[in-house]
Chains A and B, each alone.
Chain A
Amino acid sequence: MQAHSFSPGSAGLRRAWVLGLAGASTLAAAVEMSRLLSAGGTTAPEWVVLALFTPCFAWISLSFWAAVAGFVQLASGRRVPGLRWPDAEREAAPLQSRTAVVMPIHNEDPAAVFAHVQATYESIEATGHLDAFDFYVLSDSTRAEAWVAEELAWSELCRRVGGQGRIFYRRRTDNTGKKAGNLTEFCERWGRRHDFLFVLDADSLMDGATVVRMARLMELNPGAGILQAPPLCVGRSTLFARLQQFAGRVYGPVVAAGAAAWQLGESNYWGHNAILRMSAFIEHCGLPVLPGQQPFGGHILSHDFVEAALMRRAGYTVWLLADMGGSYEQPPPNLLTYAQRDRRWCQGNLQHLSLVLAGGLHPMSRAHFLMGVMSYVASPLWLLFLVAGLVSAAHAWLTQPSRFGGVDAVLASGATFDSPAALRLMAVSLAMLWLPRLLGVARVFARSDVAANMGGRARLVLSVLIEGVLSTLLAPVMMLFQSHFVFGTILGYRVSWSSQQRDDADLPWAEAARRHAVHTAVGVGLAVLLWVFSPGLLAWAVPVVAGLLLSIPLSVFTARASLGLWAERHGLFLIPEEVAPPAVLARAQVLTEDGAATVEDAVDHVLSDARAHTLHLALLEEQPSSSGVAGALASGRRKLLASVPEPLSAQEKVAVLLDARTLAEARGRRLGQPS
């Protein structure tokens, strides 16, 4: 298949508009800030303030103008140019290609995972195009209980839908390269059987029509390497999750349309809910191992951006299908799990710094790396900006003859500081943060059916206001979290890639207090400092100080499903997918509630349950030998086959479960049979 580097003719113009307006806004703001700071002569701390303000403003400015571009694109009612879309006749024709729908998992809840696979499977089946798809659950699970539960859930799923031979389950014993390595291993074993690779995350859910449509788009556009369907957050009940779901539903489309509108065929790949051209992926997207040690060297952690860059380097385009719909995922249930996920992403994105200048990459790929870095580095920059502002104010207070009047007097003095202009600059900055939200709200208001499914216009406005207040209060906490992650990464802390909590369990007060103690202390310190230097400045800093002081209760209360459900009952933060769930969502919900077999002790389960035993042995034949766990196997065997069996360690359980002979022997003994 011939790759080409097609980009629509309007790409340059679109990028010039967005980047030009962002650049011009930043320049104007920087000049204005410089003027404000230099009123009484620019001091060293003030230069630092200016140096920090400029990239921070550039970041919000780019986001703002991209959102405006998205709003304009949506208002035009047209698709972004560049992709060939199927006509009605083509839509009805059978697919000519084969697609592997893959879901890499790692110690996840099998009930939810296989419920989502089944719902997606059935949804594709309902389109009549099931024959063009195979499904693979690619397990990297290391916990023995997760492993055995997955086997049983897979078998049960196949039984329910008649999916043997179409839904496959593979577990790796060696987790090299983590998720990216998992996919690589899949591609190297079965990739050539398929034309396209549809990647799901463990909490992904896809409408069948969307999957079929994306496969058809790949058929029609041989130059397309990756099509990304932006996932909508759904399906959680905690207040925190419902806030995210609501924000994603109201503001997300504008943001996604904006990215698609100016990035066009050089868009990014988010690692899941996307379809990839298999041959191009195999030939051109094998991930390099970066020189040096973690956190910047070694295996690439956030593989998606790099794969998109490599795909683009090979001449294939990468598209964000902002208006595709039918693409879902679940948000983290609370602030701490959100931060935990951010920590992984932070290190992954910072690692991309070393790739920004790499040879042969498209400029937009470099921009994606930089934007990814900036999405985390912005936090410490804002933090440093606040600190520098504080130092600058203190410096002014200490060096001004009128310091006994306090900073207020210095700031309020028309001779040295242009307060109205400072207020204007602040208002512009806040507007750039808030206007994209208002554009999102305006879009919802324009469609009465959507507004009605979000609780009606009055509740929608109330929801937006409350969401705005809560997100403002949570922002300084995330700022400190992300600053910590950035500095930690730079200082060389490693990140463990454990699976994230996906259920709606309440957050204990003790856990919140432990995680947010520093944030609260910073809030107290900041409040005291400002109170001493200038009570007037404290008023300006109330959102930051209040967010930090309230971080513990905010974290606990927003983690509560009871509050989230209370808000839902009162029509707050509603999204249409809750009021009138699409079939695939409703089905996934029912299947998840049905649950899967629970496995308390994997070895015990495999030895006592005939079904689990024979199934496990049958699947074990697909696993490589257990040569790497000889020591654990020996001790596991000794404990298991002793006259009074002892409990096995986690490693021994895995070793025993990898050894058919031991399992058969132990089961024989358990059934009272001579071995």
Chain B
Amino acid sequence: MDSVTLLPSRLSAPILFADRQDTRNALDAFFRDFGFTTRADLERLASWVLSARGAGVSPDVALALARERVEAWLGELLGPSHASGKLLSRGRAAFVLVDAARLGADVLLREPRHLPEAWRRTFRDAVPVPVPHAAPSVMPEQVLVLNPLAELLRRWLRLGQPGVSTSP
């Protein structure tokens, strides 16, 4: 990843500061989890999120917008195979694992298709896929008659409990 550099984005959003401190804090916390730490990056990312709604939004709305923005970005980068409710958490993990924040806010502000192909491949390879899609089936518990002779005798005399394996 060291060799990857990004030219300043032509798609950068205009600087639009969140006018509410709580909204700003929420967005900063959100993007800090992606590894962004510099004031400039956090401001640009907040503006990117809020550019569609303008000022005065509540923290919850701002966070929902941020998630939407980032998920859209991740969805375009990773393709439909990763489209699920886990896109954000997996994408964020990949983002941190490849240390994408080192490239600055530009990495998120760009259309993913404009990012270098090698970087996109590295990112895709880093997305954690802990398990594949399930193919559910049932493994039926086998029944064993532990002592067939005693079982015959028990049935004949109609005594006691059956000597078979049972679920608790």
Q: A and B bound? A: yes
- Complex Cα distance, B12 from A495, in Å, reads 64
B137 touches A615 (CB 8 A): no
A310 touches B148 (CB 8 A): no
Q: Decide yes or no whether A184 CB sits under 8 A from chain B.
A: yes
Q: Decide yes or no whether B3 CB sits under 8 A from chain A.
A: no
B131 touches A287 (CB 8 A): no
Residue of B nearest to A307 (CB): B142
B86 touches A621 (CB 8 A): yes
Chain A interface, number of residues (Cβ within 8 angstroms):
55
Map CB proximity to A onto B105-143 as digits: 1 under 8 Å, 0 otherwise. 000000000000000000001111111101111111111
Map CB proximity to B onto A184-196 as digits: 1 under 8 Å, 0 otherwise. 1001111111000
A190 touches B145 (CB 8 A): no
User: Which of A159-167, A204-212, A536-544 lies on the face that meets chain B?
Assistant: A159-167
6 tightest A-B CB contacts, nearest first:
A288-B165, A192-B135, A618-B93, A359-B145, A359-B148, A614-B93
| Chain A residues whose CB sits within 8 angstroms of the CB of B151 once the complex forms | 359
Q: Which of B22, B126, B149, B165 contacts A164 (CB 8 A)?
A: B126
Query: In chain A, residues 269-320, which have Cβ atoms closer than 8 Å to a Cβ of chain B?
Result: 281-291, 298, 310
A619 touches B144 (CB 8 A): no
Residue of B nearest to A164 (CB): B129
| Chain B residues whose CB sits within 8 angstroms of the CB of A281 once the complex forms | 139
Q: Which of B96, B139, B161, B166 contacts A187 (CB 8 A)?
A: B139
Interface centre among B22, B137, B142, B165 (most CB of A within 10 A): B142
Known contacts A164-B127, A618-B86, A674-B29; A310 and B135 CB within 8 A of each other: no
Map CB proximity to A onto B144-168 as digits: 1 under 8 Å, 0 otherwise. 1111110100000000010111111
A168 touches B132 (CB 8 A): yes
Residue of B nearest to A361 (CB): B144
Q: Could you pull out 29 A-B pairs where Cβ atoms are within 8 angstroms?
A: A155-B128, A159-B97, A164-B125, A164-B126, A164-B128, A187-B139, A188-B138, A190-B131, A191-B135, A191-B137, A284-B142, A287-B142, A288-B165, A289-B141, A291-B166, A355-B146, A358-B144, A358-B146, A610-B33, A611-B96, A614-B92, A614-B93, A614-B97, A615-B93, A618-B92, A621-B85, A621-B89, A674-B22, A674-B29
- Complex Cα distance, B90 from A360, in Å, reads 49
- Complex Cα distance, B162 from A127, in Å, reads 52
| Chain B residues whose CB sits within 8 angstroms of the CB of A668 once the complex forms | 29
Beyond A154-B130, A286-B142: 7 further Cβ-contacts under 8 Å? A159-B125, A168-B131, A288-B141, A298-B168, A615-B128, A618-B93, A673-B29
- Complex Cα distance, B133 from A622, in Å, reads 11
Interface centre among B97, B143, B164 (most CB of A within 10 A): B97
B165 touches A290 (CB 8 A): yes
- Complex Cα distance, B161 from A618, in Å, reads 49
Q: Decide yes or no whether B25 CB sits under 8 A from chain A.
A: yes
- Complex Cα distance, B129 from A134, in Å, reads 13
| Chain B residues whose CB sits within 8 angstroms of the CB of A611 once the complex forms | 96-97
| Chain A residues whose CB sits within 8 angstroms of the CB of B92 once the complex forms | 614, 617-618
- Complex Cα distance, B127 from A619, in Å, reads 11
| Chain A residues whose CB sits within 8 angstroms of the CB of B128 once the complex forms | 155, 158, 164, 615, 618-619
Residue of A nearest to B88 (CB): A618
- Complex Cα distance, B91 from A617, in Å, reads 11
Closest Cβ of chain B to A494, distance in Å, is 16
Closest Cβ of chain A to B151, distance in Å, is 8
Closest Cβ of chain A to B45, distance in Å, is 15
| Chain A residues whose CB sits within 8 angstroms of the CB of B164 once the complex forms | 291
B141 touches A359 (CB 8 A): no
Residue of B nearest to A136 (CB): B131
- Complex Cα distance, B146 from A674, in Å, reads 63
| Chain B residues whose CB sits within 8 angstroms of the CB of A158 once the complex forms | 125, 128
Q: Decide yes or no whether B35 CB sits under 8 A from chain A.
A: yes
Q: Decide yes or no whether B71 CB sits under 8 A from chain A.
A: no
B residues in contact (CB < 8 Å) with A:
22, 25, 28-29, 32-33, 35, 85-86, 89-90, 92-93, 95-97, 125-132, 134-149, 151, 161, 163-168
Query: In chain A, residues 604-635, which have Cβ atoms closer than 8 Å to a Cβ of chain B?
Result: 610-611, 613-615, 617-622
Residue of A nearest to B86 (CB): A621
Q: Decide yes or no whether A671 CB sits under 8 A from chain B.
A: yes
Known contacts A191-B135, A287-B141, A289-B167; A617 and B97 CB within 8 A of each other: no
Q: Which of B28, B141, B161 contacts A286 (CB 8 A)?
A: B141
Residue of B nearest to A667 (CB): B33
Q: Decide yes or no whether A639 CB sits under 8 A from chain B.
A: no
Residue of B nearest to A675 (CB): B29
Q: Which of B28, B97, B166 contacts A155 (CB 8 A)?
A: B97
Known contacts A282-B139, A359-B148; A193 and B132 CB within 8 A of each other: yes
| Chain B residues whose CB sits within 8 angstroms of the CB of A290 once the complex forms | 146, 165
| Chain B residues whose CB sits within 8 angstroms of the CB of A613 once the complex forms | 33, 96
Known contacts A164-B128, A673-B28; A286 and B90 CB within 8 A of each other: no
Closest Cβ of chain A to B46, distance in Å, is 14
| Chain B residues whose CB sits within 8 angstroms of the CB of A291 once the complex forms | 146, 161, 163-166
- Complex Cα distance, B28 from A673, in Å, reads 8
| Chain A residues whose CB sits within 8 angstroms of the CB of B131 once the complex forms | 168-170, 189-190, 622
Residue of A nearest to B29 (CB): A673
Residue of A nearest to B84 (CB): A621
Q: Decide yes or no whether A357 CB sits under 8 A from chain B.
A: yes
- Complex Cα distance, B168 from A467, in Å, reads 47
- Complex Cα distance, B97 from A617, in Å, reads 13
A192 touches B137 (CB 8 A): yes
Closest Cβ of chain A to B164, distance in Å, is 7
| Chain A residues whose CB sits within 8 angstroms of the CB of B141 once the complex forms | 286-289
Known contacts A622-B131, A674-B25, A674-B29; A162 and B125 CB within 8 A of each other: yes
B89 touches A288 (CB 8 A): no
Q: Decide yes or no whether A354 CB sits under 8 A from chain B.
A: yes
A610 touches B96 (CB 8 A): yes
Q: Which of A155, A193, A359, A664 contacts B144 (CB 8 A)?
A: A359
A354 touches B86 (CB 8 A): no
A357 touches B137 (CB 8 A): no
Query: In chain A, residues 4-19, which have Cβ atoms closer than 8 Å to a Cβ of chain B?
Result: none
B139 touches A286 (CB 8 A): yes
Map CB proximity to B onto A583-622 as digits: 1 under 8 Å, 0 otherwise. 0000000000000000000000000001101110111111
A283 touches B140 (CB 8 A): yes
- Complex Cα distance, B96 from A667, in Å, reads 15
- Complex Cα distance, B147 from A448, in Å, reads 53
- Complex Cα distance, B165 from A63, in Å, reads 32
Closest Cβ of chain B to A618, distance in Å, is 4
- Complex Cα distance, B25 from A132, in Å, reads 49
| Chain A residues whose CB sits within 8 angstroms of the CB of B127 once the complex forms | 164
B130 touches A170 (CB 8 A): yes
